[in-house]
Structure 1
Amino acid sequence: MPAAAQHRRTRLVRALAAVGTGAAVLALPLIGATSASAAAPAATTASTTPAGYPNTLDGWIRESLAIMGQKGIPGTYNGIYRNVIRESSGNPNAINLWDSNAAKGIPSKGLLQVIDPTFNAYHVAGTSFNIYDPVANITAACNYAAARYGSIDNVFGAY
């Protein structure tokens, strides 16, 4: 089939698909119209942090970096990301209940697996006091890593 004819055929198929999809979308409200009760709006989760960053690992790291920049705490996106993935696989609610810290009754918590005494000692003003808060956890851990190793970028294993 010549290229021009194939292009026209592709456009025709796309147009028919769009028309068919549009008809289905128009019919959907009619299907539910026989119901006597209105559906409640779906609950939405915050898609951004209070500071306006995406409420995702990427956003938490970027917000932490902004705070770290204001406070003079060194670190890079890649250094933080590498350590978060190793420590918690990106789960802000991660808790280690089996290592030596846990055996002493102070389990490591959050994205960067910080223990309570370290979090409290290296907490950064302006962040939450909740160790499971992703931004507070990252920022405190990076503050600790800066004091101990020069930067989170210099951490390549458990710290």
Structure 2
Amino acid sequence: MPSYTLPRAIRTTRITRTHKIAAAVVASASCAAALAFTAAPGHAETTASHTPAAVTPVGSNGLPLDRADGGTKSQQTASSIAASLRVTAVAKQGHTAKEAADRSASRKAIAAPKTAPKRYANNLDGWIRQSLDIMRSKGIPGSYQGLHRNIMRESKGNPNAVNNWDINAINGVPSKGLLQVIQPTFNAYHVSGTPRKLTDPVANITAAANYAAHRYGSIDNVNSAY
């Protein structure tokens, strides 16, 4: 069979088409390889895992050190923070202690109601008892029986009794009151906290008991004119 040679134009057309198909295949293969590389990052991760991580130096307090200043600034910052925390803690503790003290004082004020003043009867028994309370607070000795016995002998329990016949009366300074005290003696032995009136029952008893304590040791030791 005789050979037949294609015209030049036809040969060129076929070669060009073949080349195009080959190029398309190559391009497709390249894209697939690129997609496969992108979809499989294992190699990248493996590579990254072998890369040493940057190590940040830390100080003794556990805070990171500044490489530029050798940790000085970081340590100063940590010290400042610690100092501020200590000052805040101390201030808070003082405030808490003050609040506790205030609450304690308030509770005491509420729990301790004011005691009403002691009341005494306005009679011989009440005068003696009030005088005894004052005498105890001043350290003056004497008993209810000793006071009552001497009062009944001297005035019969009359706070306004006046002796107009004895030597004192003759001298112009009569004895007066429950325990028949003259004015000079009352002035010398008056007990603070009682009225400065000679015939006041409580003032008269307390001054007489004070005088008797200095002269006889106690009003209980007096059994006659004194």
TM-score exceeds 0.5: yes
Q: Does 1:148 align with 2:202?
A: no
**Offset at residue 153 of structure 1 (A):** 0.1
Q: Which residue of 2 aligns with 1:122?
A: 189
Q: Does 1:73 align with 2:128?
A: no
**Offset at residue 51 of structure 1 (A):** 5.6
Segments of structure 1 that go 5 or more residues without pairing to the other structure are 1-49
User: In structure 2, what is the Cα distance between the partners aligned to 1:112 and 1:59?
Assistant: 15
User: In structure 1, what is the Cα distance between the partners aligned to 2:213 and 2:128?
Assistant: 16
| Structure 1 residues 51 and 121: alpha-carbon distance in aligned structure 2, compared to 1, 3 A threshold | farther
Q: Can you list the C-alpha shifts for 1:23-82, whole angstroms capped at 9, x where unaligned?
A: xxxxxxxxxxxxxxxxxxxxxxxxxxx962000000000000000000000000000000
2:201 paired residue among 128, 134, 143? 134
Segments of structure 2 that go 5 or more residues without pairing to the other structure are 1-116
What is the correspondence of 1:27-106 to structure 2 with a 5 Å cutoff? 52-106=119-173
Where has structure 1 moved over 4 Å in runs of 4 or more? Answer: none
Q: Is the 8 A contact 1:112 1:138 kept in 2?
A: yes
User: In structure 2, what is the Cα distance between the partners aligned to 1:51 and 1:57?
Assistant: 16
Q: Is the 8 A contact 1:53 1:63 kept in 2?
A: yes
Q: Is the 8 A contact 1:84 1:90 kept in 2?
A: yes
Q: Pick the structure with more helix per residue.
A: 2
Identity value in percent: 71
What amino acid is aligned across from residue 198 of structure 2 in structure 1? I
User: In structure 1, what is the Cα distance between the partners aligned to 2:196 and 2:149?
Assistant: 24
Q: Is the 8 A contact 1:51 1:63 kept in 2?
A: no
Q: Is the 8 A contact 1:101 1:108 kept in 2?
A: yes
- Which of 1 and 2 has higher RCO (CA within 8 Å, sep 6+)? 1
Give the secondary structure class of the aligned counterpart of 1:96.
coil
RMSD of aligned C-alpha atoms?
1.0
